[in-house]
Structure 1
Amino acid sequence: MENHDAKNSLYEDIGLLLFLTLFSAAAILMVLSGNILLNVIYLFCTILLLMITYFFGILPSLIANIIFICIQVVIMVYQYVTSITHIPWQLSFWMLIPILMSLALYSMTQNQVALQKANRELRTTLVERGAFDEQTNLRTTVAYIEDIAVFAETNRRFKIPVATAIIKIRYFNDLKRMMSAQQLRQLLQLTSDAIKEKTRNNDITYLLDNEDPTWAILLYTDDKGADIATKRIEEGFEKRLEEDSSLNNLAISMKVGIALWNGETMKTPYDLMNEGIHETQYDV
């Protein structure tokens, strides 16, 4: 998958460079050929061909390019017959460059579309697996449970304290009845941003529940350090609320529960999560 994406990215870059080279060559040849009127007309025709390539694909583009070449041949023959002069070969570059530019543009756009499709598929896969929340870009419960196991193993090996902070919105069910759907989405995003802003780089933030908004943070610290971290988050959250005109008229606040991993009494990652959720009940 990675090699395929790298190849598409390379082809996209090659297509872009070739397109720019051909465009520059066309500009130089336009100056050298000297026939301003026909050059301007052919330039606009080329732009039209590129638009056909971009919006309709390569087959309509090739057909349009062939028609364009036939039109140029007719014009050359007409000029030769009516003027009884030599055929203006200096304009013949317009028979070749537009079709080459169309092919370069098609290569560039097709590989760009392939990269975008791969990114969408990866994002969809992450969402479907439940490891990634699409709105907030936070990890979800699936990732949280998996990561607790890693943190717990680190605690066992190196005796580094591990804590989790569970964050909820106080009286959310009551607030929900007074808030619009837009305000609920705004609150979810605002809280997520406040938490991410105030956590350290090695602390990981999760969104465990969308319906009853519940966030979690995994930290390598003791209960005192976790308390300091959550106080910092609450301050950042309150500051953001004050600045938000759609939410600052509501009595919104956080409630926090902190739990420490205990390898002797806790057997599964769910034990730590449930302990943290239980502790939120005592934050009054």
Structure 2
Amino acid sequence: MTNNNDEKDSLLQDVGLLLFISLFSATAVLMALSGSILLNVIYLFCTILLLMITYFFDILPSLIANIVFIGIQAVIMIYQYVSQTARIPWKLSFWMIMPILLSLTLYMMTKNLVAIQKSNGELRTALIERGAFDEQTNLRTTVAYIEDIAVFAETNRRFDIPVTTAIIKIRYFNDLKRMMSQNQMQLLLKLTTDSIKEKTRTNDITYLLNNEDPTWAILSYTDAKGAGIATSRIKDGFEKNVKANDSLSTMAISMIVGIASWDSSTMKTPYDLMNAGIHETQYDV
């Protein structure tokens, strides 16, 4: 149902955009044909003001402003007719219609754009609230990690394919945290995430298990030896990226890695694999 609504909103947004462009093109042609440069320029700026009201204050204030604008034009025409100072500029009468049509099409376009953005925001919020998606790094979190281990373990049982996890942390993070600014902390989190993504295979899945004591995990169909080779590449890439960063290069920042493979004879739950990987980080010296 949500997908259908998104498609409808997207279609209406496109229709609104096409109508808006068409009406503006027609306005430009009518301005050229009417010949009154001064009034055309004044009315054009008034129209732009009406469009800004539509965009920032919604359709009701816009309609009220458009009615006032039409009334002002009518007063000008009546005054010219009564005083006989000039002919009624009938060629400019399109300005009574075009601004309100432009406002309606702009509202149609922006309303559906806002609806799409709201739908995307609600989906993103739902994922975050469920704990399956980290907003800052765009990585899966512990909830998704535990669920995926169950799937990987079943594959291991049925097809005897090795399943291994690598747990990655920052060495002496608590000490570093006291010396780093908030911006440096955010930078380190992003740099580590990017370094891991750069060196992992497309079929390896990366997770962020902990934000407070940054802990990443990689889940892959490989044995401990293959995971060791992969994490060595990640360590090398991370070290190069840290040295190349002016804000972090002066600090002694390094990774620690723990590797554990799924063993159906000793491991009964997904947490067993995760805890085994975390335990192995203690021995990475």
> 2:151 corresponds to which letter in structure 1?
V
How far off is 1:85 after superposition? Answer: 6.2
How far off is 1:180 after superposition? Answer: 2.2
Q: CA-to-partner distance for each residue in 1:3-50, whole Å, 9 max, x for gaps?
A: 111111111111111111100000011111111111111111100100
Q: What is the match of residue 192 of structure 2?
A: 191
1:105 matches 2:106: yes
Q: What is the match of residue 13 of structure 2?
A: 12
1:146 matches 2:153: no
> 2:60 corresponds to which letter in structure 1?
L
How far off is 1:88 after superposition? Answer: 2.3
> 1:110 corresponds to which letter in structure 2?
K
SS at match of 1:281: helix
In 1, Cα distance between equivalents of 2:42 and 2:189: 55
Report matched runs for 1:92-171 at 5 Å.
92-171=93-172
SS at match of 1:258: strand
Q: What is the match of residue 33 of structure 1?
A: 34
In 2, Cα distance between equivalents of 1:159 and 1:278: 25
Report matched runs for 1:200-219 at 5 Å.
200-219=201-220
Q: What is the match of residue 231 of structure 1?
A: 232
Tell me which moved more, 174-183 or 13-22. 174-183
> 1:194 corresponds to which letter in structure 2?
S
In 1, Cα distance between equivalents of 2:96 and 2:157: 73
How far off is 1:199 after superposition? Answer: 1.0
Q: What is the match of residue 282 of structure 1?
A: 283
> 1:210 corresponds to which letter in structure 2?
N
Q: CA-to-partner distance for each residue in 1:144-183, whole Å, 9 max, x for gaps?
A: 0001111112222222211110001112122222222222
In 2, Cα distance between equivalents of 1:86 and 1:136: 66
Q: CA-to-partner distance for each residue in 1:228-251, whole Å, 9 max, x for gaps?
A: 110111111011101111111111
SS at match of 2:135: coil
In 2, Cα distance between equivalents of 1:131 and 1:238: 29
SS at match of 2:71: helix
How far off is 1:212 after superposition? Answer: 1.3
In 2, Cα distance between equivalents of 1:230 and 1:157: 27
SS at match of 2:252: coil
SS at match of 2:179: coil
SS at match of 1:177: helix
Q: What is the match of residue 68 of structure 2?
A: 67
Tell me which moved more, 158-167 or 81-90. 81-90
Tell me which moved more, 235-244 or 175-184. 175-184
State the 4+ residue runs in structure 1 displaced beyond 4 angstroms: none
Q: What is the match of residue 221 of structure 1?
A: 222
In 1, Cα distance between equivalents of 2:87 and 2:173: 85
How far off is 1:121 after superposition? Answer: 1.5
In 1, Cα distance between equivalents of 2:38 and 2:82: 19
How far off is 1:86 after superposition? Answer: 5.0
In 1, Cα distance between equivalents of 2:47 and 2:129: 44
In 2, Cα distance between equivalents of 1:48 and 1:71: 15
In 2, Cα distance between equivalents of 1:216 and 1:85: 80
In 1, Cα distance between equivalents of 2:184 and 2:190: 10
In 2, Cα distance between equivalents of 1:46 and 1:132: 45
In 2, Cα distance between equivalents of 1:113 and 1:137: 23
Q: CA-to-partner distance for each residue in 1:186-221, whole Å, 9 max, x for gaps?
A: 211111111111111111100101111110000111
> 2:137 corresponds to which letter in structure 1?
T
How far off is 1:84 after superposition? Answer: 6.7
SS at match of 1:45: helix
> 2:223 corresponds to which letter in structure 1?
D
Question: What is the aligned-residue identity percentage?
Answer: 75
Question: How many pairs were matched up?
Answer: 284
